[in-house]
Amino acid sequence: MKVPQSEGANEIFINHLLEASLDFNQELFDRILHNIILHMGFEKAITQVVWPFLRKIGLLWLTGNVVPAQEHFASAIITKKLLVAANGLESPLPPAAGARQVLLFTPPGEFHEMPLLFMRYLMKKNGTPTLYFGPNISLEDLKTTCSRQPVTHLYFHLVTNLLRCEPDQYIQQLTDAFPGKTIVFSGSRGVDLSFRHPRVRVLTGLEEMQAFAREH
């Protein structure tokens, strides 16, 4: 398999992944993804191929050209790759007093975990300690953890809109509940956010997510 050298060439690999998903061909999907990661590196493979693929299959699902099972099939394989990649990295040292420690979660009603897993990978790669809570976490669980752990940042990603309140209201709840902590929000809903606060950061795309992970 030749390695893509441009965005146009990447589209070929996106289409290959899509075809394997439509056929539920796990061996082919896994082989294509493995070769892309092998030659491009994990981070570039995710940002240049996997993310555009997920956007494409998501649009096809919305238009009725893909059934949910086909999207779940692809997501399960990609999730496994993200877990393996993160687990293969050396664990960061425990945070020193005042050092950054990031709690990763999604709000109640949000079950898309892949962006969160990718941020966990980026954080671990850059030596930042994290607490990974995963999807659908209540405010009370966050309060309990932050009362016992030296968390400096609460990071959440929002794709769908299944919350009982709007993102502006939810972020205001977080700033009220966690004074002194930075709230970091990424996801497609961030472009519509009107709530402004000095302790709130909105990451509007993959490049900003990567830049945040590199900070110390």
183 membership: H or E segment, kind and range: strand 182-186
- Looking at residue 6, what is its pLDDT? 58
DSSP per-residue codes, 5-68: -SHHHHHHHHHHHHHHHHTT-HHHHHHHHHHHHHHH-HHHHIIIIIHHHHHHHHHHHHTTSS-H
The CATH code of the domain that includes 39 is 1.10.1240.10
Q: Are residues 71 and 15 in the same domain?
A: yes
Give the count of domains, the chain: 2
Residue 96, in any domain of the structure:
no
The contacts of residue 55 (CB under 8 Å, 6+ apart) are: none
Residue 93, in any domain of the structure:
no
**Residues in the chain with pLDDT values less than 70:** 1-7, 160-165, 189-192
The pair of structure tokens assigned to 20 is: 């394997």
Q: For residue range 51-68, what is the model confidence (pLDDT) as tens digits?
A: 999 989 988 877 878 888
Q: Are residues 156 and 186 in the same domain?
A: yes
Q: Are residues 107 and 208 in the same domain?
A: yes
Q: Are residues 64 and 118 in the same domain?
A: no
Q: For residue range 135-168, what is the model confidence (pLDDT) as tens digits?
A: 999 999 999 999 999 999 999 998 765 555 678 8
- Looking at residue 2, what is its pLDDT? 45
Asked which of 39, 54, 87 is the last residue of a domain, the reply is: 87
pTM equals: 0.89
Q: Report the distance separating Cα 33 and Cα 141, nearest Å.
A: 36
**104, 120 contact by CB (below 8 A):** yes
Q: Are residues 208 and 111 in the same domain?
A: yes
Residue 42, in any domain of the structure:
yes
Q: Are residues 60 and 122 in the same domain?
A: no
Q: Report the distance separating Cα 36 and Cα 8, nearest Å.
A: 15
